Amino acid sequence: MDKSYSSATEADIYRSWEKSGAFTPKIDKSKTPFSIVLPLPNASDPMHMGHALFTIQDILVRYHRMLGDPTLWLPGADHAGIETQFVFEKKLQKEGKSRFDYDRQTLYKMIWDFVEENRILNQFQMKKLGFSMDWTRYHYSLEPKIVDNVLLTFKKLYDDGLIYRDEKIVNYCTHCGTAFSNLEVVHKTVYSHLWYIKYGLLTVATTRPETMLGDTAIAVNPKDKRYKNLIGKKILLPLVNREIPIIGEESIDIKFGTGAVKVTPSHSPEDYDIAKKHNLEFIRIFDYDGKSNLNVPEKYRGYFPSQVRQMVIDDLTAVGLIEKIEDYSHEVGHCYRCGCPLEPITAPQWYLRIAPLAKPAIEAAQNGDVKFFPSRFKKAYLTWMESIRDWNISRQIVWGPRIPAWYCLDCHPDIKLNFLDKNKNIVTGFYKDLKDKYSFEEIKNGLQSLIAPVDAKYIVDCSSKIENCPNCHSTSLLQETDTFDTWFLSGQWPLNTLGFNPKDPSKSSPDFAYFYPTSVMDTLWDILFFWVARMIMFGLYLTKEVPFKTVHLHSRVVDAKGQKMSKSKGNVIDPLVMTEKYGTDALRMSLVYGIAPASDFVVSEDKIRAQRNFVNKIWNASRFVLMVVDKFPKVGASLAGAQITNPDDISILTNLNKIITSTTSDINRYHFGQASENLYQFFWHDFCDIYIEKAKDRLDPSKPTGEVGEEDVVPVLLAVLITSLKLLHPFIPFVTESVYQILREKLNLDEAQLITASWPEVLSF
């Protein structure tokens, strides 16, 4: 052996594993399989330290492979919808361009090419980290077959009455140009003011004076004695001179402000609910570009909210309607991608009726069909599922599969269009106003987006392109420009990657029949609702079975300040840089060593360096054992028939049996931190510091302990080393495989590779 371990051999070792076919399981119906579907990383982004925590899944699959289970770890990559488009738009911005410079087909092709470069990089990075995935079964979320299945599921949901289109209040980012679900909103504390505005008979307090232009009521609590006699009366809305009612609403906080609040249904989620309950008018005053529209008095049109706010405050002050202003802090929703404040806005969107899907998913958790570890997440899952609302599955972006619905422009000339004309100028307007100036083909070819009235009739068909309107037979048909929320597609990931057939489940692939339901879903707890819950709902809806039997929520990598790592914060540690500097095994061990389940932990270079020292310790201990083997070449590695009488031998073998038992138990219970810590202590302390040091004395005739038969120590040294390599292999696969191959050649061991070696059983001695 070389004097020191070199991680430069890692690429060769990984290639040998791939070449052996060890990662590709065979279907064996006499055995129970073990399967994991990779939480698909974004195809557009290089991996970060959070992705390196896939190490936990690699520990599980290597362990089960060594147990002899047909073991599948299925890799893939996600097109990642808005996240990828956002990254690409930042690239365009650096080039002095924007998404508005291209029609949707051109922009889609540009993003596709951009993603393909990074998708290949993703695979390289995962191999570099030693992840033993079955690359022959790799899938990408925009593969034609995957997309076809997603569209078929949409059609089934629609036919079952679970898909509908409605105009509701959404969290809209005017910068990214799309709506987001409530789960994707980042709430930040904003230090602003509370403006007290006189509304004739009463004064209201508001944090958004600009939206008063869209007020349709004033609400007071019917228990508030101050206003009880005003309920049912009408007042004149300042600056707009439109009559609005005063209504009684139990949800109004009497202690907030004056106890009277303005109701702006089209720009506040709370006000939206009030307006639905009291049948109020909806007046949207800000459009999707963020600017005020024709629903406000002329002087306020065409401005952003912050500009309208100042104009409204100035005008109210001028006529003496500002009673007072107080400093005030409150939570404001921000876009999780670009960080801009979101504009609550009413917009027509596609929704999935969620209650019928949630009910069996709740029951699956309650009766144990899906188990959660740590168990506290079961309660969090159930709490969210029991209060779940219908899911907005549409996004106003280009990147991703489009919703398979078509609108007839001749039946609905009031559809609003946004397209590039033949001169690459942006044209926006209603079809009825544009059809005489622009041909349908020009609109279609340059189309960027469309907005159809919520009551517009549409045709849902995912099997083929619609040629004619079934109502008027017109050929002027445009497909919905909204794309699917990424989680709608990835929520079906275990089904579609294993070969589920939505048309005829009985014709699903052999892989699906054998490996589904999968064994474990390991992921970060922060996507328990985004992804895990939705996979459970889709799995039960489409197959009547859960997609996985256990949900394991692993820990989260944070920086020294306890903040989640992100590129925008500049606190990211590149895992590939660390592997180049210290080796992959050192990085992997640092990610699990001593980590409590589902906790936040800091990865520091010092910790990685310490684990590199452990890797070197394994190498140096192995060199010593091999030197002993060279000294006693006729002594075998088997303990069979050996007379174990030396107290030191008995002690180390007893401790070895304990570590075999505890490691097996800890992995089965997902206590990877405890398992790695125990293995570290056993190998470094029990084996190296104590047993090997005593063995050196026994092997040195000049020492008092040296004696005839000193070669009896050799099979014990080998048994402990080889068994330790097997136990450590799922955690640190490269150095253990490297040492094992040297031992295999020296000792003619039967098993060709450590990755497929048998998991150690308790020794008999």
pLDDT tens column, 98-156: 888 898 999 999 999 999 888 888 889 999 999 999 999 999 999 999 999 999 999 99
Mean pLDDT of 744-749: 88
What CA–CA distance (Å, rounded) separates 102 from 89?
Answer: 12
On the question of pLDDT at 642 being above 80, the answer is no
| CATH 1.10.730.10 residue window(s) in the chain | 603-756
- Say whether pTM exceeds 0.75: yes
Residues 6+ apart with CB under 8 A from 686: 652, 655
Rg over CA atoms, the chain: 32
Structure tokens at 176: 């990214």
On the question of pLDDT at 624 being above 80, the answer is yes
Q: What is the pLDDT of residues 574-588, one digit of tens each?
A: 899 999 999 999 999
More confident residue, 4 or 53: 53
- Predicted confidence band of residue 355 (pLDDT cuts 50, 70, 90): very high
Residue 704 has a pLDDT of 61
DSSP per-residue letters across 241-286:
TEEEEEEE-TTS-TTSTTSEEEE-GGG-HHHHHHHHHHT------B
Q: Which CATH class is domain 603-756?
A: mainly alpha
Structure tokens at 507: 């014709």
- Predicted confidence band of residue 751 (pLDDT cuts 50, 70, 90): confident
Q: What is the pLDDT of residues 363-400, one digit of tens each?
A: 999 999 999 999 999 999 999 999 999 999 999 999 99
Handedness of CA 677, 728, 601, 548 (dihedral sign): negative
| CATH 3.90.740.10 residue window(s) in the chain | 178-344
What CA–CA distance (Å, rounded) separates 407 from 480?
Answer: 7
On the question of pLDDT at 703 being above 80, the answer is no
On the question of pLDDT at 471 being above 60, the answer is yes
Q: What is the mean pLDDT of the chain?
A: 93
- In percent, the amount of the chain with pLDDT more than 90 equals 79
CA dist 653 → 60, 115, 543, 747, 764 (Å): 25, 53, 49, 21, 9
Q: 374 preceded by cis ω (within 30°)?
A: yes
What CA–CA distance (Å, rounded) separates 501 from 509?
Answer: 8
Mean pLDDT of 412-417: 95
On the question of pLDDT at 566 being above 70, the answer is no
The CATH code belonging to domain 178-344 is: 3.90.740.10
More confident residue, 60 or 40: 60
Extract the runs of DSSP E, i.e. beta strands, from 107-207: 139-140, 163-173, 178-180, 185-199, 202-206
CB 328 within 8 A of CB 250: no
- Residue 229's Cβ-count burial label (10 Å; 0-12, 13-18, 19+) is exposed
H-type alpha helices, 405-520: 431-434, 440-446, 486-490, 493-497, 510-515
Residue 567 has a pLDDT of 59
Strand (E) or helix (H) holding 428:
strand 426-430
Residue 708 has a pLDDT of 45
- Predicted confidence band of residue 709 (pLDDT cuts 50, 70, 90): low
- Predicted confidence band of residue 641 (pLDDT cuts 50, 70, 90): low
On the question of pLDDT at 625 being above 80, the answer is yes
Mean pLDDT of 463-480: 89
